Amino acid sequence: MRPELMTEIEGLRGVNSVKIKEAHEAGKKVVGMYCVFSPQEIALAADAISVTLCGTSNDPIEEAEKELPRNLCPLIKSSYGFAITDKCPYFYFSDVLLAETTCDGKKKMYELMSKLKPMHIMNLPQTAQGEEALTLWKKEMVYFKEFLEKEFDVEITEDKLKEAIQLMNRERIAMRRLHQLNAHKPAPITGMDMMLAQWLKGFNVDKEAGIDLIERFIVEVEDRMEKGIYAFDENAPRILLTGCPIGLGSEKALRILEESGASVVALENCTGYKGLDVLVDEEKDPIEALAEKYLSTPCSCMTNNNGRLDLIERLVKEYQVDGVVDLTWQACHTYNIESFTVKNFVRDELDLPFLQLETDYSDSDVGQIKVRVEAFLEGIKS
């Protein structure tokens, strides 16, 4: 039996679809974002709503392929498909878009998307090491701040930035506490429910209400744990899912893992723990602190990306993981190439079973994935 509050959490997307329309009609400005590198704090300090844009469903990909190549990452095609079909209310009501130079496919897609709405692109340094990269990223923070000030005719003060930083840190702390409940053996929350709770937070129009809901959810789960109610028994193989971000509509690998008897206890990806791991330093200059926090994100677009290996190792130990599954989208070259490094690290350094699943958003390979997952889990159990 699932926690009762999951019903309320699952309803967030529909509720926020209405709220974003009402807010827009009331004159509230909306900034649409796609990536974990996007500094929501600057948008909030501009008295705007910051929302994650749709990009996890297979439904609009056919329309996107009329303009984009078929052999392209499904996340990119889905994001663009939602934009051109007006099927994403968050994109429709966004006044401006924030893009980022993470991968080449997204950069070129953004050129097309920029014709639909005003867009600001943050040029992400492709290395997270050294003062030069941090200096460049600090400048990008300032450029985005100045862009919003001009677009919305507002002044983003240091005090407003600090207030926004405190709010976002509170959200990260709440989501991190929720995720860390699954360090318990057995896990009290399914990987599917954990993914939904963390993914849906990006659509929250009201951050305070979202934080309150997650804190109430934590209390409910802790109460269930005291009563001995868990999502899996302690013999279920405990899996760390790493790799590309997932959401509702692109969760098939996660779903198959748990339907096959695994307990996905940790989600290392962008829609999981990765963006929660580091808080913004509230004592530093806000722009510098934001630059440091976001540049620390261990994304495969970075070279080198040893921070990802460090995070995987910490999660493996804290969550008592039995195996690691790396999910990579077809044509996502950075994650696909990096999977070789992750495989060697997991097998050689952590001495754990490893499985890479390369797929797209369609259901065409569900049977094949199920066979591979079942064999992988049998190997863990034996």
Query: Does 35 map to a domain?
Result: yes
The C-alpha atoms of residue 95 and residue 24 are separated, in whole angstroms, by 9
pLDDT at res. 128 = 67
Range of the domain at 12: 5-159
Query: Does 87 map to a domain?
Result: yes
Number of folded domains that form the chain: 1
Q: What is the pLDDT along the chain (382 residues), one digit of tens a residue?
A: 899 999 999 998 889 999 999 999 999 999 999 999 999 999 999 999 999 999 999 999 999 999 999 999 999 999 999 999 999 999 999 999 999 999 999 999 999 999 999 999 999 998 867 899 999 999 999 999 999 999 999 999 999 999 999 999 999 999 999 999 999 999 999 999 999 999 998 899 999 999 999 999 999 999 999 999 999 999 999 999 999 999 999 999 999 999 999 999 999 999 999 999 999 999 999 999 999 999 999 999 999 999 999 999 999 999 999 999 999 999 999 999 999 999 999 999 999 999 999 999 999 999 999 999 999 999 998 7
Under 8 Å between Cβ of 24 and 91: no
Query: Does 373 map to a domain?
Result: no
* CA 320 vs CA 125, 186, 187, 206, 316: distances in Å: 34, 10, 10, 35, 6
Q: Report the amino acid identity of residue 243.
A: G
HEC sequence for the chain: CCCCHHHHHHCHHHHHHHHHHHHHHCCCCEEEECCCCCCHHHHHHCCCEEEECCCCCCCCHHHHCCCCCCCCCHHHHHHHHHHHHCCCHHHHCCCEEEEECCCHHHHHHHHHHCCCCCEEEECCCCCCCCHHHHHHHHHHHHHHHHHHHHHHCCCCCHHHHHHHHHHHHHHHHHHHHHHHHHHCCCCCCCHHHHHHHHHHHHHCCCHHHHHHHHHHHHHHHHHHHHCCCCCCCCCCCEEEEEECCCCCCCCHHHHHHHHCCCEEEEECCCCCCCCCCCCCCCCCCHHHHHHHHHHCCCCCCCCCCHHHHHHHHHHHHHCCCCEEEEEEECCCHHHHHHHHHHHHHHHHHCCCCEEEEEECCCCCCHHHHHHHHHHHHHHHHC
Q: Is the pTM for the entire model greater than 0.95? A: yes
Query: Does 97 map to a domain?
Result: yes
The C-alpha atoms of residue 81 and residue 103 are separated, in whole angstroms, by 18
Query: Does 312 map to a domain?
Result: no
The domain that contains 50 carries what CATH number? 3.40.50.11890
Under 8 Å between Cβ of 364 and 252: no
Residue 108: count other Cβ atoms within 10 Å of its Cβ. 13
